[in-house]
Every structure is written in C-alpha cells, then in structure tokens.
C-alpha cells in the first residue's frame, strides 16, 4: 500500500515549549513480539513526522507486531477504520472522546455521532470502542452530563458488538468505577494509560478489567503507577504508547511512536523483577485475548 500523503493527517500536535522534536533512536529489538494497544498515528508530530507505513515498519523492526489505532471523533474514527482496512497489523478502536462529547451535545449532534460510531463498530477490523470514559480535568461541571451519557452509550455499543472498550479516565477514578459497577463493564474493558494507584488497580482487576501501562510508568514522579503494577496480576497487564504523547524516559518530550514500546515493556519487567521475554509473551497473549488476532 502507498504511504498516505502528509496532508491525510487529521491533526498536528503542538510543538510549543518542546526542545527536541526529532524521533529517538530505535531501542534493541524485542526477542518476543508484542503489540501497542493504544496509539494515535493520525496525529503528525515532530520536525519530520512519520507516515503510517514508516511507523509500522519501524515498529515491526523492533518486535512490535501490531497496533490498535484509537480514536476520539468521527474523522479520526473513520481514519482508524481505513488504516485497519489497509494494514493487516492495524486494528481500529472508534469513539467520541469524553472531552468532545460535550461539544457534540451543545451542537445537538451527539446522538448522530454515536449512531455513526455504532455503525463503524460493526466493521470486522474494529475491535474496540475507544477512547471513551470521563475526564474531569479538562471538562468542567457543565459538560459532565454529556460525558456520562456518552460514556454509557459507548459501553452499550461495546456490549452490543461484543468488542473491547478502552477507557480514558482523567481525575475521575471514582466516577468511572462507579459507572462500571452500576451499568456493568463490557467483558473486555481496558483502562488505557492507567493512572490510578494500587488500590484502584486491585478494584479494577477484580472487576475483570485490563490495565494498560504507557510510557509515563517510567517517569520519576509516577511511583503510584509502579505501585499499581505490583498490584496487577500479570494476566491483566497491557502495554501502549498513546503515541505521539507520553514518550518514555529517557526521551520525554520528544515524539513518541509504537517502535518505542520496548522501552516501556522493559521498564515494567525490571520493576516487576520478571524476564522481559516472559512478560512480552504474557502481554502479547493478553492483547490478543482482548482484541483478537492481528491479521
């Protein structure tokens, strides 16, 4: 397949205040392949943005065998489905982001948008609804009714299609867990970029949820995430980049990409005192259990 032209990117990440906008050197390849279960490859970043083909080529070269392309609005959801149609190693997640739900609701467009997400979720390359959830950091009091309504609608869509759900939870731990307890979590629910502590990790995994750890688990100030790791059964751990965001140490601030997953996987293995290859095999099996085979 041809490389999508740069102008097919739907968004450009702000580079303001960031010093080094070059992509980091690739890490040592993993012996056991894993997957990046949450990234946004439609967002161009850095001085010389990588196209989708190059992103996937670099990932495969270091043992990252596939990615789940997450979405936050209709344009990115359609982009994710198209990317997953073209590439065997891309699966799609579709959703209206919790911070966009209030904007859609204000325009009276939320129901139609959710109907389109529901229709896209029927596509065989769409293996998750995501990212959905609650964000009390960026959305104020007035936007919350729309956020809750959208979150519950996405839960229903995931259940109806029997696919996974990727949760975005920012400063809303109690309310996200409360919603899942109240309406019932889809069978395969993933806390994308898990941001809670050990107690929350225990509560979420007891409900059967998976916790996906991103590059911020390597940050100095993220002891809560490392504590959470220790409280998470190995069969509930997933790994992601959330690229182009959350670049793992020692490259914080530079563009992130799926080929940097080995840094985060090795940091998790070393924190847990387990062999990186064994952890990789476990995490890959967890990923396939949630999203199905990448092909």
Looking at the DSSP bridge assignments, the partners of residue 210 are 190
Shortest Å distance, C-beta 281 to Zn ion: 25
Asked whether position 42 contacts Zn ion by CB under 5 A, the answer is: no
State the binding string over 59-78 for Zn ion (x if CB under 5 A, else -).
Answer: -----------x--------
Structure tokens at 35: 């997957």
In the complex, the smallest distance separating the C-beta of residue 226 from Zn ion, rounded to whole angstroms, is 21
- Residue 63 or 130: the one with the smaller Cβ distance to Zn ion is 130
Residues 92-131, mask of contacts with Zn ion (x by CB under 5 A) = ----------------------------------------
Shortest Å distance, C-beta 163 to Zn ion:
17
Nearer to Zn ion, 102 or 215 (CB): 215
Which among 115-123, 179-187, 203-211, 234-242 is the span making contact with Zn ion, rule CB under 5 A? Answer: 234-242
> Shortest distance, CB of residue 108 to Zn ion, whole angstroms?
26
Residues 36 and 54: their CA atoms lie apart, in Å, by 15
Least distance in angstroms from the C-beta of 237 to Zn ion: 18
SS (H, E, C) the chain: CCCCCHHHCCEECCCCCCCCCCCCCCCCCCCCCEEEEEECCCEECCCCCCCHHHHHHHHHHCCEEEEEECCCCHHHHHHHHHHHHHCCCEEEEECCCCCCHHHHHHCCCHHHHHHHHHHHCCCCCEEEEEEEEEECCCCCHHHHHHHHHHHHHHHHHHHHHCCEEEEEEECCHHHHHHHHHHHCCCCCEEECCCCCCHHHHHHHHHCCCEEEECHHHHCCCCHHHHHHHHCCCHHHEEECCCCCCCCCCCCCCCCCCHHHHHHHHHHHHHHHCCCHHHHHHHHHHHHHHHHCCCC
Min dist. Cβ of residue 215 to Zn ion (A)? 12
How many residues touch Zn ion (CB under 5 A)? Answer: 2
Closer residue to Zn ion, CB minimum distance, 41 or 50: 41
Half-sphere exposure of 266 (CA within 13 A, CB side): 14
Binding residue for Zn ion, selected from 45, 100, 240, 242, defined by CB under 5 A? 242
Q: Which is nearer to Zn ion, 238 or 276 (CB)?
A: 238
Closest to Zn ion by CB, 135 vs 242, is 242
Query: Whose CB is nearest to Zn ion?
Result: 242
- If the CB atoms of residues 84 and 276 are measured against Zn ion, the closer one turns out to be 84
User: 43 or 276, CB closer to Zn ion?
Assistant: 43
Q: Which residues bind Zn ion (CB under 5 A)?
A: 70, 242
């Amino acid at each position: 397949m041809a490389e999508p032209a740069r102008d097919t990117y739907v968004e450009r990440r702000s580079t303001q205040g960031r010093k080094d906008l070059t992509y980091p050197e690739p890490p040592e390849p993993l012996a056991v392949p894993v997957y990046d279960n949450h990234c946004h490859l439609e967002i161009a970043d850095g001085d010389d943005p990588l196209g989708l083909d190059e992103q996937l080529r670099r990932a495969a070269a270091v043992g990252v065998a596939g990615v789940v392309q997450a979405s936050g609005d209709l344009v990115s959801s359609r982009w994710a489905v198209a990317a997953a149609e073209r590439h065997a190693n891309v699966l799609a997640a579709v959703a209206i982001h919790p911070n966009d739900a209030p904007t859609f609701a204000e325009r009276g467009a939320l129901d139609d948008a959710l109907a389109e997400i529901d229709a896209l979720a029927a596509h065989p390359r769409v293996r998750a609804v995501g990212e959905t959830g609650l964000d009390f950091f960026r959305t104020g009091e007035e936007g919350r009714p729309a956020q809750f309504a959208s979150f519950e609608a996405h839960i229903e869509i995931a259940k109806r299609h029997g696919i996974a759900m990727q949760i975005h939870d920012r400063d809303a731990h109690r309310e996200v867990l409360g919603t899942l307890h109240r309406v019932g979590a889809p069978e395969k629910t993933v806390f994308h970029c898990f941001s809670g502590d050990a107690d929350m990790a225990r509560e979420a995994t007891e409900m059967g949820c998976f916790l996906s750890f991103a590059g911020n688990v390597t940050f100095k100030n993220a002891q809560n995430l490392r504590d959470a790791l220790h409280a998470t059964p190995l069969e509930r751990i997933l790994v992601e980049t959330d690229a182009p965001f959350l670049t793992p140490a020692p490259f914080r601030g530079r563009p992130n990409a799926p080929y940097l997953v080995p840094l985060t996987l090795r940091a998790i293995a070393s924190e847990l005192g387990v062999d990186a290859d064994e952890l990789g095999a476990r995490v890959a099996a967890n990923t396939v259990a949630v999203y199905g085979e990448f092909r």
